[in-house]
Amino acid sequence: MRRALVTGAAGFVGSHLGEALVARGDSVVGVDCFTPYYDRTVKDVNASTLRSSGVELVEADLRTADVAALLDGIDVVYHQAGQPGVRPSWSSGFGEYVEHNVFVTQRLLEAARDRGVRRFVYASSSSVYGNQARYPTRESDLPAPYSPYGVTKLAAEHLCSLYAANWGLSTVSLRYFTVFGPRQRPDMAIHRLCEAALGRGRFSRFGDGSVVREFTYVDDIVAANLAAADADVAPGTYLNVAGGSEIVLRDLIALVGDIAGVAVAIDEQPPMPGDSPRNGGAIDRAQALLGWSPQVPLRDGIAAQLAWHRAQEVRR
């Protein structure tokens, strides 16, 4: 039986991944320290769902935890833990980003090398690209982060590549393009749009709504992780994982309203420093190397996420 470690398992992506791994028969250890980036009760619900599905969930902070012990007997590490979000990564917030995103990744890579882990899959980000001259971005484009968050995600990706180059550790970095779906983080646009569509406040729109984003449904992200764990690829590989759903924010607001059957109330706010005007990724490399392509169209995914938000109302 394969034994996997999912870091950040109580978070949005990590909780879906943990469940999928258990469902296919893997033995799964999850680790999370329940950072206060958003309400802990949300992560507690994810954690109890995971525990009941059969994941062994350890509460530990990877900045200080005995990572060698955590990696004992592990074949594949799915490293999802991190401090997410662009906007709080400025000013005094930056230290948290360096610690959770860069330092933690280095600790895990050291232990993975020493323990002979078979594959180390890292949750990288489209934010490594920053603003590019042409879209969709390709892995051959030079990364140029536009936010402190993006700098830390790229630094951790470089750490993966250099552990691969120096030590032959079999790393694969997946550059996620804006993930959405049930359990999406409360700070993310589709989450806030769904809440606004259900009459729970107004949607704060930063800037004039002209930014373009490519969204990727969480099940497709999970599928890319599973494929990345087993694919026959060179150590240090990095790949775009993009959902094929590029949309202007203004149109996204209208789409959520259309699915919900109400116009979303908007609270106009100035643009946020660090928010790139556009993201969008070419996925030829992931298709060729992982045999992966996204399956869930934006409209279907939003309908599923909205249904999840409605169900939260029942729980409250």
Residue 191 three-state SS: helix
Catalytically annotated residue among 149, 163, 176, 217: 149
What is the closest distance, in whole angstroms, from the C-beta atom of residue 205 to ligand NAD in the complex? 18
Q: Which of 21, 33, 117, 255 binds ligand NAD (CB under 6 A)?
A: 33
Asked if residue 274 binds ligand NAD (CB under 6 A), the reply is: no
User: Does residue 110 touch ligand NAD according to CB under 6 A?
Assistant: no
Q: Are 220 and 294 in contact (CB under 8 A)?
A: yes
Nearer CB in complex with ligand NAD: 108/290: 108
- Cα distances (Å, whole numbers) of residue 255 to 57, 247, 248, 267: 37, 10, 10, 17
217 is catalytic: no
| Residue written as token pair 């609270």 | 267
- What's the DSSP call for residue 63? T
Would you count residue 20 as binding ligand NAD (CB under 6 A)?
Answer: no
Q: Are 181 and 304 in contact (CB under 8 A)?
A: yes
Burial class (CB within 10 angstroms; exposed 0-12, middle 13-18, buried 19+) of 28: buried
Of residues 2, 45, 49, 61, which one binds ligand NAD by CB under 6 A? 61
Identity at 203, one-letter amino acid code = F
Q: Using an 8 Å Cβ cutoff, are 120 and 175 in contact?
A: no
Residues 6+ apart with CB under 8 A from 99: 63, 83
Q: Which residue is nearest to ligand NAD (CB)?
A: 11
Which span (81-89, 113-121, 130-138, 250-258) binds ligand NAD, by CB under 6 A? 81-89
The C-alpha atoms of residue 270 and residue 158 are separated, in whole angstroms, by: 33
Residues 211-250 close enough to bind ligand NAD by CB under 6 A: none
Identity of the residue, 170 or 173, whose beta carbon is nearer to ligand NAD in the bound complex: 173
125 touches ligand NAD (CB under 6 A):
yes
DSSP lists the bridge partners of residue 32 as 59
Closer residue to ligand NAD (CB): 57 or 233: 57
Positions annotated as catalytic residues are: 149
Using CB under 6 A, list all residues that contact ligand NAD: 8, 10-14, 31-35, 37, 43, 61-63, 80-84, 100, 104, 123, 125, 153, 176, 178-179, 185
